[in-house]
Amino acid sequence: MTLAATGHGFLSPSGVEIAFVLVGIATLGAALLTVTTRQLVHAALWLVVALGGIAVEYLLLTAEFIAWVQVLIYVGSVVVLLLFGLMLTKAPIGRSPDADSGNRWAALTVALAAAAALVWVVVDAFRATWIDLDRAVQGSTEVIGRSLFQYWVLPFEALSVLLLAALVGAIVLSRRTGEGRAAAAALDNGAAPAPAPREEQR
Amino acid sequence: MSDALDIALRLLAVFVVFLVFPLVIGQTEHKVMAHMQGRLGPMYAGGFHGWAQLVADGVKFAQKEDIVPAGADRRIFQLAPAVALLPYLLVLVAVPIGPHNAVGQDLDAGIFFVLAVMGVGVLGSLMAGWASANKFSLLGGLRTAAQLLAYELPMLLAAASVAMAAGTLSLPGILEAFHWWWVPWQIVGGIVFFVAGLAELQRPPFDMPVADSEIIFGAYTEYTGLRFALFLLAEYAGIVVLSALTAVLFLGGWHGPFGADGLGWLWTLVKTVILAFGVIWLRVTYPRLREDQLQKLAWTVLIPLSLAQIALTGVVKVVISS
């Protein structure tokens, strides 16, 4: 990156900058639709568009590795998990009357405050910095790997411990107690499951 | 200007491969399955062994009425086949076919790109399953999601093992670093990758999401005509991509016992075709796994195996470099 702002002006944007702004507007629109749509599954699908748009923004900022990780983790796994949960709860086609939250003003306040803080930090940190596209790529896998495992090893390991704790917590929460455990043991042994009382007889 | 022309030609080549190869695989499946089951398969269309059956099928699909169920979510229902098919086109751009930059586009994080985009394709099945307003479709969608979540992890771990061995995430870079003894070294990872890939494509014996004896045709039950054909095409394109990726990552891609300079692309092709034949062979050989067996295989067999492969890769790598 170069600090000099010579030759760069806001009035003569390059193609990459125009693309960046356009993708940003599309991403923002998709994000707004995610929280305002009354159809639950549509919200999850708009989230795909928003997350994908962010991946494209990463690409335009030459952070290729982060972009693909974004697609792999968020679009490929988190949204699939979301959709899985929605389908398990029989998300209806059409509007859900209870898709509205009473917390919307609190949520809007928090969102605006978070956005303001982030924009302020980014503007304050980078001001008139331009990415030099002709020099070595700043966001390549090698550069990120080096900085992650040289300067940021401790936070990295702390995060992995956090994830491990979350995993253990999930296992503890999902273990059944008492009579449920016996039934589960019978299932594991391949025996026929005991006829459970039908909750939903139609 | 020559740069733009170069890129356009590469993309055109990738597109042609994307249009031709899945159809060839589809026809091969017709014939191979038929012969393995002691029958002939399509024999009349076009004359020689029914080669034009594909064209006839395509015309048939195009003529059919495109029905959207009354209760369905129209737009998502219609969008789903494109979401299922397009990721495989994108993946093909990053798969190298031969040495000396014979690849659509050499990506710095090629493995990540390929696996990430392949995972997106499953969203198409989920959208189809939900938007059809059909309980069998919804069940198919649920099974698809559960299967993807279970098998994405071993696939990633197996691919990570190769990346560790090569010290790069770029697919051509991995092939540059390849030696013949990588094949026995990474064989466990290769098998895990291939099996997990089969599950991600929902090919037999992992075709619970479309189990026709239980839930009709899963997420694709309500589809007709061209949109249904697009889903089938996505499956065949998936076979091409999976076979090519396994060949590139674990079998050395363009490397072969001889003819390394001129015939590299032929080696890639031969390995891909043999693996694709294996995919078809598995379909006619094995019965479908039950849903719980499917999950058990992923979590208790494939993931431990892929972790062991990563450990082995790490140990050998340290021993070599010291």
* Interface touch B108/A137, C-beta < 8 Å: yes
User: B180 CA to chain A: closest CA distance, Å?
Assistant: 26
pLDDT value of position B38 = 85
- Cβ A183 vs Cβ A194: under 8 Å: yes
Mean of pLDDT values over B226-243: 88
pLDDT value of position A186 = 53
- Residue scoring higher pLDDT (A3 or B6): B6
* Interface touch A75/B127, C-beta < 8 Å: no
B72, B109, B142: residue with CB nearest A64: B109
Q: Is residue A145 part of a domain?
A: no
pLDDT value of position B260 = 64
pLDDT value of position A164 = 93
* Interface touch B152/A76, C-beta < 8 Å: yes
For the stretch A47-91, pLDDT in tens is 989 999 999 988 888 888 888 888 888 888 888 888 888 888 767
Across chain A, mean pLDDT equals: 78
Mean of pLDDT values over B107-129: 84
For the stretch A108-158, pLDDT in tens is 899 899 999 999 998 888 877 777 766 666 667 778 888 888 888 899 899
Q: Is residue A36 part of a domain?
A: yes
Distance, C-alpha A95 to centroid of its chain = 24
Q: Is residue A162 part of a domain?
A: no
With residues binned 3-state (H G I as helix, E B as strand, rest as coil), the percentages for chain B, rounded to 5, are 75, 0, 25
For the stretch A179-202, pLDDT in tens is 555 555 555 554 444 444 444 433
* Interface touch B117/A71, C-beta < 8 Å: yes
Across chain B, mean pLDDT equals: 84
For the stretch B302-319, pLDDT in tens is 889 999 999 988 888 888
Least confident of B23-32, B212-221, B245-254: B212-221
Task: Give the pair of three-digit tokens for residue A102.
Answer: 């009473």
Task: Give the pair of three-digit tokens for residue A66.
Answer: 């982060």
Sign (positive or negative) of CA dihedral B247, B253, B259, B265: positive
- Cβ B150 vs Cβ B197: under 8 Å: no
Q: Is residue A202 part of a domain?
A: no
Distance, C-alpha B47 to centroid of its chain = 31
Mean of pLDDT values over B104-122: 81
pLDDT value of position A198 = 42
* Residue A91, domain extent: 15-95+104-133
Mean of pLDDT values over B247-274: 80
- Residue scoring higher pLDDT (B12 or B261): B12
pLDDT value of position A4 = 45
Check which CATH number belongs to the domain holding A122 and give it. Answer: 1.20.120.1200
pLDDT value of position A26 = 92
Please confirm whether the linkage preceding B69 is cis (ω < 30° from 0).
Answer: no
**Chain B residue with minimum CA distance to A65:** B109
Q: Is residue A121 part of a domain?
A: yes
DSSP classification of residue A196: P
Mean of pLDDT values over B158-174: 85
- Cβ B155 vs Cβ A127: under 8 Å: no
* Interface touch B120/A76, C-beta < 8 Å: yes
Residues of chain B contacting residue A80, judged by C-beta atoms under 8 Å apart: 119, 122-123, 126, 145, 148-149
**Which residues, in sequence order, are CB contacts of B317 under 8 Å at separation 6+?**
B164, B165
User: B141 CA to chain A: closest CA distance, Å?
Assistant: 8
Give strand pairing partners of B98. Answer: B102
For the stretch B8-63, pLDDT in tens is 888 888 888 888 888 888 888 888 888 888 887 777 777 777 778 888 888 888 88
Q: Is residue A9 part of a domain?
A: no
Total domains, chain A: 1
A71, A75, A84: residue with CB nearest B145: A84
pLDDT value of position B124 = 86
Q: Is residue A201 part of a domain?
A: no
User: Which ipTM score applies to this complex?
Assistant: 0.78
Domain boundaries, chain B: 2-321
| Per-residue pLDDT at B152 exceeds 70 | yes
A48, A137, A140: residue with CB nearest B123: A48
How many Cβ atoms sit within 10 Å of the Cβ of residue B191? Answer: 17
Characterize B162-185 residue by residue with b for buried, 16 or more Cβ atoms within 10 angstroms of its Cβ, and e for exposed.
bbbbbebbbbbbbbeebeeebeeb
Mean of pLDDT values over B166-178: 82
A48, A68, A81: residue with CB nearest B109: A68
pLDDT value of position A159 = 92
pLDDT value of position A114 = 94
The model's confidence at residue A178, banded by pLDDT at 50, 70 and 90, is low
B80: nearest Cα among B218, B279, B283 = B218
pLDDT value of position A90 = 65
Residue carrying the six token digits 């989920």: B126
Counting residues of chain B whose pLDDT is more than 70, the rounded percentage is 98
Residue B131 at interface with chain A, using a CB cutoff of 8 Å? yes
pLDDT value of position B136 = 86
* Interface touch B116/A88, C-beta < 8 Å: no
- Residue scoring higher pLDDT (B132 or B304): B304
B163: nearest Cα among B310, B12, B1 = B310
| Per-residue pLDDT at A1 exceeds 60 | no
What is the gyration radius of the CA atoms in chain B, in angstroms? 20
> What is the spatial distance between Cα B70 and Cα B147, in angstroms, rounded to a whole number?
29
| Per-residue pLDDT at B187 exceeds 60 | yes
pLDDT value of position A168 = 92
- What is the pTM (predicted TM-score) of this model? 0.81
Q: Which one-letter amino acid corresponds to residue B155?
A: M
**Chain A residue with minimum CA distance to B150:** A77
* Interface touch B119/A80, C-beta < 8 Å: yes
B242: nearest Cα among B19, B25, B16, B11 = B25
Give Cα separations from B128 to A153, B91, B279 (angstroms). 43, 22, 25
The model's confidence at residue A2, banded by pLDDT at 50, 70 and 90, is very low
pLDDT value of position A116 = 93
Residues of chain B contacting residue A41, judged by C-beta atoms under 8 Å apart: 73, 76, 130-131
* Interface touch A68/B73, C-beta < 8 Å: no
